[in-house]
Amino acid sequence: MERSLVLIKPDAVERNLTGTLISRFEGLELKLVALRMLQPDKELARRHYAVHRDKPFFDRLIDYITSGPIVAMVFEGDNAVEVLRKAMGATDPAKAEAGTIRAEFGLDIERNTIHGSDSVETAKEEIKLYFA
């Protein structure tokens, strides 16, 4: 059994997509094992996105993810990371496969509605950031 972190980002919360997105994930035969709503501060955001620290979009990413409330969730199940990533689609909604969450709801590459862990190892670290 794998676990993966999913964040519903501020643009999706603002557009009242939280319930829709949770339902989509629950339809993937994964179990929702943790959920909380929070507004991340810049320190948490910098720790979460530390891998992007040296990239030109880092400051915009931090400003965006701290601009409003998010919903943090942990899903568990067989191949959870892969199943969730496939359902989310490519990071850039313009390149996401039809039927994926980002293709349907993403606004642009920076406001792409959702975050999901990219590996089991990353998931373990990300989950620790949001859940004790």
Residues with a known catalytic role: 115
Are 82 and 41 in contact by the 8 Å Cβ rule? The answer is no
Strand locations in the chain, DSSP E? 2-8, 31-38, 70-77, 114-116
> Residue 118 corresponds to which amino acid?
D
